[in-house]
Structure 1
Amino acid sequence: MTPDNALAALLDWYLAVGVDEAIGDVAVDRFRVPDPLPPPSMAEASRPAPAAASGPQQVRHLPARQVLARPAAQSPTDAPESEVRHEGALKAARTIAAEAGTLEALEAAIEAFDACPLKATANRTVIRDGVLGAPVLVVGEAPGQEEDRTGKPFVGPAGQMLDRMLGAIGLSRSENVLITNIIFWRPPANRKPTPQEVALCVPFVRRFIELSQPKLVLLAGATAAQALLDRTDGISRLRGQWFEQSTESDRPIIPTLATYHPSYLLRSPAQKRDAWKDLMMFQERLESLGILIPGREN
């Protein structure tokens, strides 16, 4: 491989994992321990210390790398004000979601919701794809670059992987699957959503589940599983077991299975074996409910 081809391959890999914009010329290592200050010279050590009341204190300017390595100082009132704003936005999200009586009204409410800071940096609001009223609902994490461009979830490489996974057990977004995400706006550079960002979107997702009334829910990845199951376990512990998806209404509990996110499987092919086991469990449940007919191509 020539140097030019190697560079092009590296850039393609960056785009595939979501690194598509530069924040600075040099990365800042915020976990680095600052370099110790040099000891004073003999001349400095021999000088008497100035009296506290003799004049203004001297300020020692630290190197820029030491300043950047330190966490930014916060005003004592910053955190409470931030928490108040978040709690107000969360209360509004719950109220708005609960008032939506149809999926169309809910989608309009999500489009108009401005309290999630991710909306300010995204190009599109990405809500759903697939068939309304489908018996299967798939919930992923957040839109990526392609999803942000098209306005539909799971249309990039991870979406192609998801389509192959669903097709292997007789499912298709064009026939019997509805797809959404925990987050409706792309996080900058495809970073992991913060707990606050997830919390602001969860009321809308729960209402989406209530209104779409699926028979089964498949949660793709840790973010979706932890948010909707109210668990802190990693996806390796949550996958491969059934949960009962609770809603905020009196509608029936929905059986829910968690598995690995397709993008994780693209990075970690060794985990496809466990993902396949999850899909077999999901297919068996579909057949027991009469959604799929055993022994037939559905």
Structure 2
Amino acid sequence: MLKWRELYEECYDCDKCNLAKKRNNMVFGEGNSKANLMFIGEAPGADEDKLGRPFVGRAGQLLEKGLTALNLNREKHYYICNICKCRPENNRVPTEQEAEACLPYLRNQVALVKPKIIVCLGATAMKYIIDKDWKITRDRGKWVEKKGIYLMATFHPAALFRDESKKVLFWSDLKGIKKKYEELCEEIK
């Protein structure tokens, strides 16, 4: 297992797939590196690629607004990153080869953070983290435990812009995440 700086440098220098050739920035992840709560998305979007930070565009701002309403903030309560560290052109879904190339980096991040809870934001993260046979509309909001970590999937916040009816379910999932966090983590009781 690599330490944070080594892992960052390996991601920065990565050329395991073609995404690195067209990126502006590698988007590593950020937040509390010892957080009990970890959010994992699909891949950086245009704003993230431009700034080199995860979840800073419209979808990220929506997520942040919801989490802030629940008194959860990035610096203190959670770490956030993506399956892929580089942006697929036109924000397309990463190919299996692209995702598989980045998964060892993600596993290393999880091993360093040691979260008690991982939340998969969207179907792509859910497929690689929880179960390839799960369906986001059917299985979002369900908890499963693997290797002592509680896992849940919810809609990617970008999906809420395409279908506003998902906002109620997304908010319900965020409240469920906060409840699980309070059950497992002493720091905010």
Q: Give me the TM-score of the superposition, normalised by structure 2.
A: 0.93
Partner of residue 216, structure 1: 117
- Does residue 73 of structure 2 align to residue 172 of structure 1? yes
Report the secondary structure of 1:197's partner residue: helix
* Correspondence 1:136-155 to 2 at 5 A: 136-155=37-56
| Percent identity of paired positions between Structure 1 and Structure 2 | 37
Tell me if structure 2 keeps the 8 A contact 1:135–1:291: no
Deviates more, 1:144-153 or 1:196-205: 196-205
- Does residue 107 of structure 2 align to residue 107 of structure 1? no
Tell me if structure 1 keeps the 8 A contact 2:44–2:85: yes
- Aligned amino acid, residue 266 of structure 1: F
Which one of the candidate residues 121, 143, 166 is aligned to 1:271? 166
Partner of residue 254, structure 1: 149
Note the alpha carbon deviations across 1:275-295, whole angstroms, 9 max, x for none: 1221221111111122432xx
Aligned residues: 188
Distance in 1 separating the partners of 2:71 and 2:110: 22
Partner of residue 188, structure 2: 292
Distance in 2 separating the partners of 1:244 and 1:136: 14
- Does residue 18 of structure 2 align to residue 122 of structure 1? no
Note the alpha carbon deviations across 1:182-202, whole angstroms, 9 max, x for none: 110000111111111111111
Distance in 1 separating the partners of 2:112 and 2:126: 19
Note the alpha carbon deviations across 1:115-148, whole angstroms, 9 max, x for none: 1211111111001122221221111111111101
Distance in 1 separating the partners of 2:112 and 2:78: 15
Report the secondary structure of 1:255's partner residue: strand
Tell me if structure 2 keeps the 8 A contact 1:170–1:292: no
**Alignment RMSD:** 1.4
- Cα distance, 1:175 vs structure 2: 2.0
Distance in 2 separating the partners of 1:206 and 1:165: 26
- Aligned amino acid, residue 169 of structure 2: D
- Aligned amino acid, residue 263 of structure 1: A
- Aligned amino acid, residue 275 of structure 1: F
Note the alpha carbon deviations across 1:57-86, whole angstroms, 9 max, x for none: xxxxxxxxxxxxxxxxxxxxxxxxxxxxxx
* Correspondence 1:55-94 to 2 at 5 A: none
Report the secondary structure of 1:258's partner residue: strand
Which one of the candidate residues 219, 225, 228 is aligned to 2:126? 225
- Does residue 90 of structure 2 align to residue 195 of structure 1? no
- Does residue 34 of structure 2 align to residue 133 of structure 1? yes
Runs (4+) off by over 6 Å: none
Structure with the higher fraction of residues in strand conformation: 2
Distance in 1 separating the partners of 2:90 and 2:136: 22
Partner of residue 84, structure 2: 183
Tell me if structure 2 keeps the 8 A contact 1:217–1:255: yes
Distance in 2 separating the partners of 1:245 and 1:238: 16
